[in-house]
Chain A
Amino acid sequence: MDLLYYPGCTVKTSAKCLETSGFAVIKALGHNLVEMEEWNCCGVVASLTDDDLMHHLAPLRNLIHAEDQGQEKIVTFCDMCGNTLKQTNLRVQESEENLDTLNNFMDQEEDYKKSVDVQHFLEFLRDDVGFAKLKKSVKKPLKGMKIMPYYGCTMLRPREVAIDDAEEPRILADLLKSLGAEVIDTPYKIECCGSYHTIEQKDLTAKRAYRISSSAQKAGADAIMLSCPMCKFNLDHRGKDAESLYDGYKQIPVYYYTQLIAMAMGLDIEECGFDSHTVDPIPLLKEKKVI
């Protein structure tokens, strides 16, 4: 099956390994991701104010591009992109007036006909492929890997666009189980990573990364698995920074779920781009004999 793919800027720059490993996985599952012919930045954060329609132009333009290509669904890897696109989609579904204003502003483009559904790649795996089926493609189960699934915020909030329950999500835990890993559950799985504070307040974000990662380690985890590129940077990179703030602290590796699926399916490790990580994720995979 061909799926229309919305990349977003992050997977083209700082999170290339999310895209390459995701592509490897989807190909191995017998599907084909086709990048949209034309796309722009998702808008990054969804504007919640009533009078700030300008910031819905970017996401809406992408939805129109999908319609231009005659597609009713776009799939994306990035949590932020997925969130922003979904929120705008919802906004214009609910407010005809807002949609009119935006359509009128974009007077050289086709009007948006509200036909597009935005899907996070995790939803595609859970709902369209099914974790049970995914489990059948596992060649190298992640046996003995104790992993804390980390959700962050944008995949779970607000409720209207969430892909799982905001307080007790299980999509990543279920996925981990199907890959044969041991799930380590902690209440910090839905704690905010610090998000964009990472630019101006590195220490604040490093402290948050420490809180999340050390709770995982105390519960026995030797790695974290997540989906969002922003969370990944903060837990992996700022987590490493935290080593200089906390005596004896050592940051554990952080994996994208696509990388762990790729490893469990026995796909080419090159597609995982592990060399872009701050904390080397390879030794643990070797220790647990996954590779």
Chain B
Amino acid sequence: MTTETNTEIARKTNDADTPEVSALNIYVMGKRYLVPAGLTIMAAIEYAGYQFVRSCGCRAGFCGACSTVYRKDDEQKLHFALACQTTVEDGMYLVQIPFVPAAKAKYMIEDLKAEENTILSLYPEIARCVSCNTCTKSCPQDIKVMMYIQNALRGDIAKAAELSFDCIQCGMCAMRCPADIKHYHVAQLARRLRGKYIDTLSKDLKKRVAEVEGGQYDKEIEELVGMSEEQLRGLYNKREIEAKKKKEGE
């Protein structure tokens, strides 16, 4: 069988009057598919005929369900990405990771204190970190994963929480760590401890919760509930966007 070039195939598959789209070869678990360029990995896999029952959630880069591991055929390096956020490239060998086995430590946050050894006592394995930095290199969110583990280890809860703030719990770090650390659970504990015990409570939040509980917004909500879809849409489109307003004001 002679191999057709990507462009040749693309030409054949395109109508004469639609603009020419180049096509790419991708491999889904070893099987080759030809897909149009410009799609996300997720859309490309769907284009190839797969239906996601796992490995797909928000489709917006927030839920961490779509972890993808790939290697390009001419490259040595393994890559990690979110399928919904990454554009497909020619020669990608793809595999979707549907689930990461990583049990969370059981604790009642009310019973904990934010002390130097709190995280270490619930996740003692963080002391096994050899500082290989593989976790950092596996993170599709570009988080300094090793450094948040290191900060957890040295009892700097606030810093561990700060460094891990963008973690979407995809679990890629935990799949790659030679020390079998469950990074994202460690990070979540750090953020919970910081939120509960280290950061000062926002006064405004307290005020607003009291307002809500006092029924101050009940009328507005009832009005919204009574609206038609059309009215709601109109209201939504006319809404004030604070950031935009600020910018215009500048």
Q: Which A residues contact B (CB, under 8 angstroms)?
A: 7, 9, 12-14, 38-41, 43-44, 54-55, 57-58, 61, 105-106, 108-109
Contact present for B132 and A41 (CB under 8 Å): no
Closest A-B pairs by Cβ, 7 of them: A58-B131, A13-B116, A9-B154, A12-B154, A40-B150, A40-B131, A13-B155
Determine the distance from Cα of A81 to Cα of B131 in the docked complex, in whole angstroms: 14
Asked if A40 meets B147 with Cβ closer than 8 Å, knowing A9-B154, A57-B132, A106-B133, the reply is: yes
Contact present for A58 and B130 (CB under 8 Å): yes
Determine the distance from Cα of A54 to Cα of B166 in the docked complex, in whole angstroms: 29
B131's closest neighbor in chain A, by CB? A58
| CB-defined A-B contacts under 8 Å, sample of 6 | A14-B116, A41-B127, A54-B178, A57-B130, A58-B129, A108-B137
Given contact pairs A14-B116, A57-B131, A61-B131, enumerate 19 new A-B contacts (beta carbons under 8 Å). A9-B154, A12-B116, A12-B154, A12-B156, A13-B116, A13-B120, A40-B131, A40-B146, A41-B153, A41-B154, A43-B130, A54-B132, A57-B130, A57-B133, A58-B129, A58-B130, A58-B131, A108-B133, A109-B133
Give the one of B120, B133, B178 with max A CB within 10 A.
B133
Which residues of chain A are near B178, meaning CB under 8 Å?
A: 54
Cβ contact of B129, chosen from A13, A14, A41, cutoff 8 A: A41
Determine the distance from Cα of A266 to Cα of B17 in the docked complex, in whole angstroms: 89
Which residues of chain B are near A108, meaning CB under 8 Å?
A: 133, 137
Asked if A12 meets B132 with Cβ closer than 8 Å, knowing A38-B147, A40-B150, A108-B137, the reply is: no
Q: How far is the CB of A164 from chain B (nearest CB, A)?
A: 28
Contact present for A54 and B116 (CB under 8 Å): no
Determine the distance from Cα of A38 to Cα of B150 in the docked complex, in whole angstroms: 10
Q: How far is the CB of A67 from chain B (nearest CB, A)?
A: 16
Determine the distance from Cα of A83 to Cα of B130 in the docked complex, in whole angstroms: 16
Which residues of chain A are near B120, meaning CB under 8 Å?
A: 13
Determine the distance from Cα of A121 to Cα of B137 in the docked complex, in whole angstroms: 34
Q: Which B residues contact A (CB, under 8 angstroms)?
A: 116-117, 120, 127, 129-133, 137, 146-147, 150, 153-156, 178
Contact present for B154 and A13 (CB under 8 Å): yes
Determine the distance from Cα of A61 to Cα of B117 in the docked complex, in whole angstroms: 24
Contact present for A54 and B137 (CB under 8 Å): no
Which residues of chain A are near B154, meaning CB under 8 Å?
A: 7, 9, 12-13, 41
B132's closest neighbor in chain A, by CB? A57
Which residues of chain A are near B153, meaning CB under 8 Å?
A: 9, 41
Q: How far is the CB of A206 from chain B (nearest CB, A)?
A: 21
Contact present for B150 and A41 (CB under 8 Å): yes
Which residues of chain B are near A14, meaning CB under 8 Å?
A: 116-117
Which residues of chain B are near A13, meaning CB under 8 Å?
A: 116-117, 120, 154-155
B155's closest neighbor in chain A, by CB? A13
A47's closest neighbor in chain B, by CB? B130
Asked if A55 meets B147 with Cβ closer than 8 Å, knowing A9-B154, A12-B116, the reply is: no
Contact present for A43 and B155 (CB under 8 Å): no
Q: How far is the CB of B134 from chain A (nearest CB, A)?
A: 10
Q: How far is the CB of B173 from chain A (nearest CB, A)?
A: 15
